[in-house]
Amino acid sequence: MYLAQNGADAAQPSIFGLLLPFILMAVVFYFLLIRPQQKRQKAVNQMQSDLKKGDKVITIGGLHGVVDAIDEGAIVINVGGGRKLTYERSAIKSVVETEEVEETPTKED
């Protein structure tokens, strides 16, 4: 009877053995989902704080325009034709990088 009790105790897994899969899942979840999202959000916040007059931007609604004026929490976007719209700074999705196209001289006869 004494041997049966020791054998039953040895067959029971430890608390660490039971929690190990959950701990591993939490670590994988953090590195695959939470950490990359934090990096993206940090980059977006940095881009929004670095906005300056003349930047070509796209809003989260898809509006393309040029930054005309900047206030603490709002920006004025020139959308063309003399129209200017005011948006919250957080509504800017991205700054468009413009490549300057070098014009080639045309040969005149």
Is the pTM above the cut of 0.85? no
Above 70 in pLDDT, residue 79? yes
- Could you give the CA distance from residue 43 to residue 56 in angstroms, rounded to a whole number? 17
Whole-number Å distance between alpha carbons of 32 and 44: 19
Residue-range domain boundaries for the chain: 2-95
CA-based end-to-end distance of the chain: 112
**Domain 2-95, CATH class in plain words:** mainly beta
Instruction: Give the model confidence (pLDDT) of 47-77 as tens digits.
Output: 999 999 999 999 999 999 999 999 988 999 9
Residue 44 scores a pLDDT above 80: yes
More confident residue, 94 or 13: 94
The rounded distance, in Å, linking the Cα atoms of 68 and 77 is: 5
Backbone phi, psi, residue 62, to 5°: 95, 5
Residue 45: its H or E element? helix 35-49
